[in-house]
Amino acid sequence: MKNDEIERIEVELLVDALHRRYGYDFRHYARASLRRRLRHALAKSGYKRLSELLDALLWDENVAHTLIANLSVTVTEMFRDPSFYQAVRKKILPYLGTYPFFKVWVAGCATGEEVYSLAILLYEEGLYERAKLFATDFNETALKQAKDGIYPLKDMRQHTSSYQKAGGQGSFSDYYHADYQSAIINPALKTNITFANHNLATDGIFSDVQLIFCRNVLIYFDRVLQNWVLNNFTQSLGNGGFLCLGNKESLDALERRGEYAAIDAVERIYQKRPATGPLQTSTPGPKSAGWPA
């Protein structure tokens, strides 16, 4: 038997062990991506083979949790793909401005840059005080960083450029303060955000949400899991609610994709078809005079 075939067996045994021993379900993750991340995790672990790592994680929860964290993709940045945020500002926020209160779910939030980017948009459009944002991920390490809102100061130059390209209306430096080599997010941006552990592969839905962000997450799932997740999003969204995916993702795996209309096909913004009537375009209320108390 060739080494590659042996590795495939090791991967399946390891994935099954993570599910049966710890409840983390990677069985429907895209295999090419999963194997790459397992090889990377193996190199960091000090073990020579995945079968050795498998034995260790079965008996040592610390080894398992380290592996699970390494399997989670946490690559993100603030205002990634500025044209997407321009589209959100122009095509979604006017609609949300017609609600006295609305809920947002940022699924797979990783280290939090995306939810803070959205919070800034909502603030600049005078909508932050009406919003309740739920930011979820299954990686506890990443989730803690998201809650803390502390990022390398060296990254702020790139984030500032992306913010400006996204149509930022103020000075990006107003949204954080520098402390030595760290940038600390303004606490006022956190007041309406709830961070929570949630596994898209196994956990349930949020009810009556008006906007879901899940960008660059589905690309790591196979079509079975993609359909499962997209179906949960469809159940979570209220009629007329919006689903935002990454620029390499689509609704192709969703059996119920006919329930959506493409609001921006390039930026992968979809609207769950309202029960009656077209997309509303009312102007949002007046901008806030300052940060929420």
Instruction: Tell me which DSSP letter residue 219 carries.
Output: G
Q: What is the pLDDT of residue 67?
A: 86
pTM of this prediction exceeds 0.95: no
DSSP letter for each residue of 124-178: HTT-GGGEEEEEEES-HHHHHHHHHTEEEGGGHHHHHHHHHHTT--S-GGGGEEE
CA distance 1 to 157: 51
In the chain, beta strands by DSSP E: 102-107, 131-137, 150-152, 176-179, 182-185, 193-197, 209-214, 237-245, 260-264, 269-272
Q: Which of 232, 268, 238 is nearest to 251 (CA)?
A: 268
pLDDT at 275: 59
pLDDT score at 283:
35
Nearest to 91 by CA among 167, 162, 22, 31: 167
Burial (CB count within 10 angstroms: exposed 0-12, middle 13-18, buried 19+), residue 17: middle
Closest CA relative to residue 149, chosen from 193, 212, 211, 84: 193
Residue 102: its pLDDT value, please? 97
**239, 271 contact by CB (below 8 A):** no
Cα diameter, the chain: 69
Among the listed residues 191, 182, 76, 211, the one whose alpha carbon sits nearest the alpha carbon of residue 137: 76
Domain 82-272: CATH superfamily is Vaccinia Virus protein VP39 (3.40.50.150)
Q: Where are the domains of the chain?
A: 3-71, 82-272
So what's the pLDDT on residue 24? 82
Kindly list the distances between the CA atom of residue 61 and the CA atoms of 22, 57, 164, 193, in Å, as whole numbers in the listed order: 9, 6, 44, 30
Distance of CA 81 to the CA centre of its chain: 14
Per-residue pLDDT of the chain (293 residues), as tens digits, is 667 788 888 888 988 988 888 888 888 888 888 888 888 888 888 888 898 889 998 999 888 888 887 777 666 899 999 999 999 999 999 999 999 999 999 999 999 999 999 999 999 999 999 999 999 998 888 999 999 999 999 999 999 999 999 999 999 999 999 988 999 999 999 999 999 999 998 888 888 999 999 998 998 898 999 999 999 999 999 999 999 999 889 898 888 888 999 999 999 999 998 755 444 433 333 333 333 33
Let me know if 86 is exposed, middle or buried by CB neighbors in 10 A (0-12, 13-18, 19+): middle
Instruction: Look at residue 188 in the predicted model and tell me its pLDDT.
Output: 95
State how far the Cα of 291 lies from the Cα of 60, in Å rounded to an integer: 46
| Burial of 205 from C-beta contacts in 10 A (0-12 / 13-18 / 19+) | middle
Question: So what's the pLDDT on residue 1?
Answer: 67
